Amino acid sequence: MQPSNTYFVRSGARSSPLSRAQFEEVQFLFPQLELEPVWAESPGDRDKTTSLRSLEKTDFFTRDLDRMLLDGKVRIAIHSAKDLPDPLPQGLSLIYLSDGIDPRDSLVLKEGKTVRSGMRVATSSVRREEAVKTICPDAIFMDVRGRIEERIAKLDLNEVDGVVIAEAALIRLRLTHLNRIFLPGETSPLQGKLAILARSEDGEIRQMFHGA
C-alpha cells in the first residue's frame, strides 16, 4: 500500500479512443486504485481486412493484451466483455465484470436521413444484418472494419447510408447526438459490459478489485 492509501496497478488496454474511454470508466469505478495504462494493439487492430463474420469467440481483439498479462508486463487487462475468447487463455481469470451500459445496437444514419429502400448498410455481423432487415428488408450490406470514428466517416464519404454500432460505444465516445435508430432483437452476449482479466495465481489483485 502506498502512503496515500492508493494502489498502483499497471493496466493493459487497447489504444483506440473507445478503449481509452473504457479505461477511464474502470478508473472511475475504482477510485481507490491508480491505474497506470499500458496501451497496446491486438490482431483486430492491425488486421483491417479479415471479416468478423467467420470468427467465433476467438482472441482476435484480446491476444496481445493477454500475452502481456501472462508475461507479467501488466497486472490486469481491460476488455470489452463481448470480445473475450471462449475459453479464456490458460492461466487467466475474469476478476471483474461491470454492470454495463445500454446493450442495444444502433443504426447510425447521416443527419436528416432516415431508413429507405435499398439503403447500403455497413456491418460485419449476420445477426445485425437480420436486425436491420426487420426495418429495411431490401437493405444492401457491406463489410466494415476499423475504429468507430472510421466507420462513421463512411457516412460522410457517402460510401454507405448507415452503419451499425453498439449504443454503448456511442455513449462512451459521447456520440449520442448522432442521428440513429435503435435496432430490435437480441445483441451480442455481454455487450456494453467491461471485463477485467488477471493471472489466475494473482490473488492480491483479485482482492484489490473486490475490496476497492
Q: What is the pLDDT of residue 2?
A: 44
pLDDT of residue 55: 64
Domains, in order of start, for the chain: 7-100+193-211 (3.40.190.10), 105-182 (3.40.190.10)
pTM value surpassing 0.85: yes
Q: Give me the pLDDT at residue 101, please.
A: 96
Give me the average pLDDT of each 10-residue run along the chain (212 residues).
69 95 97 95 79 73 93 97 93 96 97 96 94 97 92 95 98 97 93 97 92 54
CA nearest 196: which of 53, 26, 28?
26
